[in-house]
């Protein structure tokens, strides 16, 4: 089978099942942004694995998240009423709870959050900050989709928690390497 099919040359793509929609459809925007996010997590994993001291816990969490994002992409690419729904694993409360457990674990290992910090630091941390901002955009795309079609509410909640997790993972990546985060300094009024 060839990689290119030419079926999308006129601006249409297939959802999971037989439905064809515009490549600009809110559903495609939502799962496309999740795909972008997954790629950024791959970048963070690459930075982590090539650092002078790879963080095994962080790497394992990123691998888990990449697999979960494939499930999320399938969830978003499949309409709720599709007969193909039975073939996918939709995200649920247990998936959200797992993220909350991860957040709590990473948060226990970093200083209390008292100021906004500049996104950046190590290449791993900087990549996680970019991923965090894309997770927020993916959440907004899922909300846009929910305004026109039924979606799995847990997908939206998952993305909300995921952005929090990526933020605390970015902080942990810096703290674990001894890097001091740069705080935002509010411009003083005259």
Total domains in the chain come to: 1
What's the CATH number where 106 sits?
A: 1.20.1200.10
Evaluate whether residue 169 is within a structural domain. Answer: yes
Domain membership flag for residue 99 = yes
| Residue 183 domain-assigned (yes or no) | no
Q: Measured in Å, how far apart are the chain's first and last C-alpha atoms?
A: 66
39 HSE (CA, 13 A, CB side): 7
Residue 138's pLDDT band (cuts 50, 70, 90): very high
Yes or no: say if 30 and 141 are a contact pair by the CB < 8 Å rule: yes
Domain that holds residue 27: 22-176
Q: 77 and 16 in contact (C-beta within 8 Å)?
A: yes
Residue 9 lies in a domain: no
Residue 49 domain-assigned? yes
Indicate whether 1 belongs to any domain.
no
**Which residues, listed in sequence order, are joined to residue 13 by a DSSP beta bridge?**
21
Give me the residues paired with residue 117 across strands. 183
Q: Is residue 189 part of a domain?
A: no
112 touches 136 (CB < 8 A): no
Q: Which residues pair with 183 in a beta bridge?
A: 117
pLDDT number for residue 137? 98
Q: Please state whether the predicted TM-score (pTM) of the whole model is above 0.85.
A: yes
pLDDT at 112 over 90: no
How would residue 185 be classed by pLDDT, with cut points 50, 70 and 90? low
* pLDDT value of position 115: 75
Read off the pLDDT of each residue in 29-45 and give the average, rounded to a whole number.
Answer: 97
CB atoms within 10 A of CB 165: 26
Residue 130 lies in a domain: yes
């Amino acid at each position: 089978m060839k990689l290119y099919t030419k079926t999308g040359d006129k601006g249409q793509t297939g959802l999971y099942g037989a439905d064809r929609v515009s490549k600009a459809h809110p559903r495609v925007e939502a799962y496309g942004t999740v795909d972008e996010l997954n790629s950024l997590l791959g970048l963070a994993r690459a930075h982590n694995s090539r650092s002078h001291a790879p963080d095994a816990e962080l790497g394992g969490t990123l691998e888990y998240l990449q697999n979960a994002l494939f499930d999320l992409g399938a969830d978003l690419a499949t309409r709720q009423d599709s007969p193909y729904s039975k073939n996918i694993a939709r995200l649920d409360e247990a998936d959200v709870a797992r993220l909350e457990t991860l957040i709590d674990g990473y948060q226990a290992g970093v200083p209390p959050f008292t100021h906004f910090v500049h996104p950046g630091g190590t290449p791993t941390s900087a990549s996680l900050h970019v991923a965090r901002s894309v997770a927020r955009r993916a959440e907004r795309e899922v909300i846009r989709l929910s305004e026109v079609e039924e979606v799995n509410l847990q997908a939206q909640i998952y993305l909300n928690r995921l952005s929090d997790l990526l933020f605390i993972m970015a902080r942990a990546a810096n703290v674990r390497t001894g890097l001091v985060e740069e705080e935002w300094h509010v411009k003083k009024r005259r």
